[in-house]
Structure 1
Amino acid sequence: MGSLALDTEAVGSELYSALGLIESRKGVLQSPQVLSLLSSFLERAVQKNEKLLEATKRKEIITVFHGLRAPNLSIRQYIDRIFKYSNCSPSCFVLAHIYMDRFFQQPDVHLTSLNVHRLVITSVVVAAKFIDDAFFNNAYYAKVGGVSTVEMNRLELKFLFSLDFRLQVNVGTFERYCLELEKEATGGAYQIERSIQVCGLKGWPNKEEVNGQQPVMRRYSCGAV
């Protein structure tokens, strides 16, 4: 892992363990709790934002992350798929949550069912490249996310510029977002005031199409390898 390594001796180690951020030594691939909590958080944010937009008749800015229609795959199914095939660390999903929150600091941009999927895959890819030691190229991530390689490159670049390349996250911020996600388990989650939409994704690759790829070892850079 890169600059944001988790210290298992730190005061937040119990929280990290509860979220499934500390890797198991049993060698069994299990779905960490952070996936379901992030999915629940995003689903509730999308519902809230879409109701607000409908009630206020507000127009939102259409971005490259917007699709014409929402895909059939739920947010939870999509996040599970990314985790299964990307082999990224569970911490990437917390970092992706932070990056998405920074992205929505832009005015009149909202999280909805038309952009949430593209934003999830893009933010996870950026997070994996920033903190994981090994990761795949964009052509592989594009297959996992159900978009073309050209589109994956374009989404990543736009996302980075929207964040002004502010990818560094200190431990205090990371732990705060972990606590916010943990509140999802009791239904008292932190609410994002901005909106995100799901995109229309292309056909999903099957297992054979994404298996057999080898992760690359390199520092963070955008675009395909």
Structure 2
Amino acid sequence: MEDVPYLTWLHRIRRLCMGSGGSTLETQFELEASACKELLTCCCERWAQLSCSGPTSESSMSIFEGKRPATVPIQKYGEHLSRYLDVSPVAVIGACVYIFKMLNRKEPVDVVSASNIHRLLLTALMLSSKFFDDGSYENAYFAEVGGVSVEELNSLEVAFLFGIDFRLNLTEAEIEKALQEIVRVRCERRLSQKRKAEPVEPVPYSFRCRDPVVNEFNEPQPVFSNADVQPVFTCSLKHSGDLIVGMTLEVELPQLDSAYPYVSDLGYRLIDELSISVAGVELDRMTGLHMLLKAVMSDAHSEYSRFGDMLNGVTVPGMLDSEAEIQDGEATTHKLVHVPIPFWFARAQVSNGFPLASLITAEAIIKLKLSPLSSIIQPPPDVRLQPRISILTDNVWLDPKVAFALIRSGPSKSLFQQNLHQDHAVDADLPVQRIELTCNKSVRRLLWLVTASDDPNQILPNSVLSSRLILEGYDLMSRGPVNQDTGERADGKYSELV
């Protein structure tokens, strides 16, 4: 136990006993406040299962016997202790292990009963708090909260220490065993509650009920043209369901009068910029080039090439690859293109879904700006193409109770998770370039993106040899060794090079 960092055990306790939900950036105080009460409740239920109804026979456990049976159940007593004793979850686990040590001694008559479990819990919790926590209350305060005298608690402390042979150190095996017991009790309790709960009427929705929704663009409909300044087209998201966990742009292209050269990555080349905003607040924004970049990065980790082709917005469901190949020097026309939109909530993670409950008093607007037609193909000067464009969303219906909890906790954190992109472009005339980044928000990822001068949509991989990130004059992130001659650090490769 001494070799394991405290916060490491704290996160393991949270993960095992309260589920894997919650950010890893939670503070120690938030972890302790959320886990301590649950741990004590599960421990008390486990000890209640092991306890017998009557008093124990004459043994070393007799000192923990009360003069009369306790009127407060052990579960309520545990809640009372967790409310007034500022103990950590690790101390609760330690108390649980100490009590198991008392039960696993050689004396077969030492058992937990309804008349001694309260004093056992109080004494074990006090010893564990003194041993594991940085700060602990005096015995007088524990006695006042626990409902016993100071003299009696002092005697109980000495008897408990002799009962476990003063073995206050915990092994990893002992902690894992205690955690497994607590998790088993927690699962049994949830299963029992689920069986007892009989809804008055059937619940109409389930967590896995999904509904594909088509969101049409407002008037005027999007058009492709050669204009230098492209208009912005808007689409209002429908309030259907509880979460949006996926979003796709569906583009039905018109039939071209003449053949044009084949265009790779057509889906993302059609988009100049796409954003989502609620109540006038922009939550996420990305360009077609950013989407293509994410697709290229996804292709690098894709196990199947066909899955990667789908991400590029080229392969259409129901269309064979051969139909999209160049035939007789001319490309066949893509009639239907599906482009996955990688907003933060549309990455196949239900836990990060877009909460539609936020649209009760506000409206979610998708803004689309198409690329100039001349940047994709070379049409006649006055050509205007009228495609049919819509937003397809993957909506999830939740259980009403789950949806209510989501409204109270999730949206405020997920909805305003702004995920904006900032571009800093330079011309690569010199081998060494200096780019000054001015960011008004925290930076999560830094990407070097090198494109061809004649074609901005063509990504040139492996074009950056090395990079350094200087923050206010200091190379804070470099881990390279210091050159003894110059006093400078070696280049650190922190950014993802594409």
Does the alignment reach a TM-score above 0.5? Answer: yes
Please list every run of at least 4 consecutive aligned residues from structure 1 whose deviation after the TM superposition is greater than 4 angstroms.
Answer: 1-4, 8-13, 22-31
Relative to structure 1, is the Cα distance of residues 139 and 186 closer, same or farther in structure 2, using a 3 angstrom cutoff?
same
Choose from 47, 68, 91 the match for 1:42.
47
Alpha-carbon displacement from aligned partner over 1:170-191 (angstroms, at most 9, x marks no partner): 2332122111110012339xxx
Contact 1:18 1:33 in 2 (8 A): no
For the residues of structure 2 that align with 1:96 and 1:67, how far apart are their CA atoms? 20
- Which residue in the other structure is 1:84 paired with? 83
Distance 1:134 1:151, change over 3 A: same
Question: Aligned in 2, Cα 1:34/1:151: closer, same or farther, shift over 3 Å?
Answer: same
Aligned residue for 2:112, secondary structure, equals strand
Asked if 1:149 is matched to 2:154, the reply is no
Q: Where in structure 2 are the equivalents of 1:159-178 lying within 5 Å?
A: 159-178=160-179
In structure 2, the CA distance between the partners of 1:25 and 1:159, relative to structure 1 (3 Å rule), is: closer
Identity score, percent: 26
Contact 1:94-1:178 at 8 Å conserved across structures: yes
Q: Secondary structure at the match of 2:100?
A: helix
Secondary structure in 1 matching 2:80: helix
| Distance of aligned partners of 1:184 and 1:154 in 2 relative to their CA distance in 1, 3 Å threshold | same
How far did 1:163 drift?
0.9
Kindly provide the amino acid, as one letter, of the partner of residue 95 in structure 1: G
Look up the match of 2:111: 110
Name the structure with the higher helix share.
Answer: 1
Structure 1's 141 and 175: CA in aligned 2 closer, same or farther, altered over 3 A? Answer: same
Change (3 A) 1:79 1:2: farther
| Whole-angstrom distance in 1 between the partners of 2:118 and 2:164 | 18
The Cα shift of 1:83 comes to: 1.3
Matched-pair contact (CA < 8 Å) for 1:2–1:133: no
Alignment partner of 1:129 is 2:140: no
- One-letter code aligned to 1:184: V
Is the CA contact (8 Å cut-off) linking 2:65 and 2:115 kept in structure 1? yes
Instruction: Sort the Cα spacing of 1:184 and 1:25 in 2 relative to 1 into closer, same or farther, 3 A.
Output: same
Mapped partners of 1:28, 1:9: distance in 2:
8
Q: Does 1:100 align with 2:99?
A: yes
8 Å contact from structure 2 (residues 91, 132) kept in 1: yes
Paired AA for residue 178 in structure 2: Y
Indicate if the aligned counterparts of 1:65 and 1:119 stay in contact, CA closer than 8 A.
Answer: yes
CA change 1:7–1:60 in 2 (3 A) is same
How does 1:181-200 map onto structure 2 within 5 Å? 181-187=182-188
Alignment of 1:31-70 (within 5 A): 32-46=37-51, 49-50=52-53, 59-61=57-59, 63-70=62-69
Judge which range, 146-155 or 30-39, deviates more: 30-39
Please report how far the alpha carbon of residue 60 of structure 1 lies from its aligned counterpart in structure 2 after TM superposition.
5.0
- For 1:3 and 1:119, the matched residues in 2 are separated by 28
Post-superposition shift, 1:41?
0.6
Runs of 5+ unmatched residues, structure 2: 190-498
Which of the pair has more CA radius of gyration?
A: 2
Q: Is the 8 A contact 2:64 2:116 kept in 1?
A: yes
Structure 1 residue identity aligned to 2:100: D
Is the contact made by 1:2 and 1:132 (CA closer than 8 Å) also made in structure 2?
no
**Cα shift at 1:76:** 1.0
SS at match of 1:112: coil
Please report how far the alpha carbon of residue 6 of structure 1 lies from its aligned counterpart in structure 2 after TM superposition.
Answer: 4.0
CA contact (8 A) 1:2 1:131 kept: no
Structure with bigger RCO (C-alpha 8 Å, 6+ apart):
1
- The CA deviation at 1:88 is 0.6
Give the CA deviation at 1:15: 1.3
TM-score, normalised to structure 2, is 0.33
What is residue 74 of structure 1 aligned with on the other side? 73
1:103 and 1:162 in contact (8 A); partners too: yes
* d(CA) in 2 for partners of 1:161, 1:109: 14
**Deviation of residue 94 (structure 1)?**
1.4
Is 2:48–2:74's contact at 8 Å kept on the other side of the alignment?
yes
Distance 1:70 1:131 in 2: 31
- The answer for the alignment partner of 2:454 in structure 1 is none
> Would the alpha carbon gap of residues 127 and 28 (structure 1) be closer, same or farther in structure 2, given more than 3 Å must change?
closer
Structure 1 position 59, deviation (Å): 4.0
In 1, the alpha carbon distance for the partners of 2:20 and 2:152 equals: 31
Residue identity matched to 1:44: Q
Any stretches of 5+ residues in structure 1 without a counterpart? 189-225
Q: Which residue of 2 aligns with 1:199?
A: none
SS at match of 2:178: helix
The residue matched to 1:64 in structure 2 has which SS?
A: helix
Contact 1:41–1:184 (8 Å) recurs in 2: yes
* Deviation sequence 1:178-222 (CA, Å, 0-9, x none): 11110012339xxxxxxxxxxxxxxxxxxxxxxxxxxxxxxxxxx
